[in-house]
Amino acid sequence: MSCSSAVSWDVLVDWWAGDLDEDAAARVEEHLLGCGDCARVASRVAATAEVLRTMVPPVLRPERLRSLAAAGLRIVENPLVPGQTCTFHFPATADLAVHVLGGLELRDDSRVEVTIRSMASGQILGHVPDAPFDAKRGVVLVACQRDYARLDHDIVAEVRVGQQQPAAEYTIFHHF
């Protein structure tokens, strides 16, 4: 059976985000209680919002890393210096790994560019032209999630600070 007065996706997003006024929210909730079709769509909106809420960007701000840790994520850090090659085993007990790319001269006003390439194909797996960084620690924080196991495992992370030539390179052989 289909709904003759379906609640639009946009309204459901606004309702889920808490952006509707009290009366509009009450009308949506009343409709969802009596309409299975719209309730199923509302569940899809909620699932989509949850995925977006928990997504981790490829390069993290230090504040984001702290908030993920405060939320209970089990995080392991893998510190590297420019030119280093490492073998990294993603621990079964970790939710998130963070490659801590150090040895960089960073100031609060630095411009940092990060490129992540597959060693096997040379293909760019990620590029952040204005990447966040931790100037206090002199590091760039690159996130590595368990679901990256489906991507190329062996990567080179290139970090360019300003017009620095050449970029600092970090080679990581992943094992999931």
pLDDT digits (tens, 9 = 90+) for 14-40: 888 788 999 999 999 999 998 989 999
Q: Is the peptide bond before 166 cis (omega within 30 degrees of 0)?
A: yes
| The pLDDT value given to residue 31 | 93
CATH 2.60.40 in the chain, residue ranges: 59-175
Q: Give percent of the chain with pLDDT exceeding 90.
A: 60
The yes-or-no verdict on residue 140 having pLDDT over 60 is: yes
Asked whether 82 and 94 are in contact (CB, 8 A), the reply is: no
CB 81 within 8 A of CB 105: no
The arithmetic mean of pLDDT across residues 127-138, rounded, is 95
67 with 57: CB under 8 angstroms? no
CATH code, residues 59-175: 2.60.40
Cα 45 to Cα 14: distance, rounded to the nearest angstrom? 10
Higher pLDDT pick, 55 / 85: 85
Least confident of 6-10, 53-57, 76-80, 165-169: 53-57
More reliable by pLDDT, 149 or 86: 86
Confidence of residue 85 (pLDDT cuts 50, 70, 90): very high
Are the C-beta atoms of 38 and 7 separated by less than 8 Å?
yes
Confidence of residue 114 (pLDDT cuts 50, 70, 90): very high
pLDDT band per the 50, 70, 90 thresholds, residue 1: very low
Which residues contact residue 171 at a Cβ distance below 8 angstroms, ignoring those fewer than 6 apart? 84, 85, 86, 119, 154, 155, 156, 157
**Sorting pLDDT into bands at 50, 70 and 90, what band is 165?**
confident
CB-based contacts of 58, cutoff 8 Å, min separation 6: 114, 116, 126, 128, 142, 143
For residue 148, pLDDT over 80 is answered with no
Cα gap 84→73, rounded to integer Å: 27
| 51: confidence class by pLDDT, cuts 50, 70, 90 | low
pTM: 0.71
Which among 145, 129, 139 has a CA at the least distance from the CA of 56? 145
User: Do 73 and 109 meet the contact criterion of CB atoms below 8 Å apart?
Assistant: no
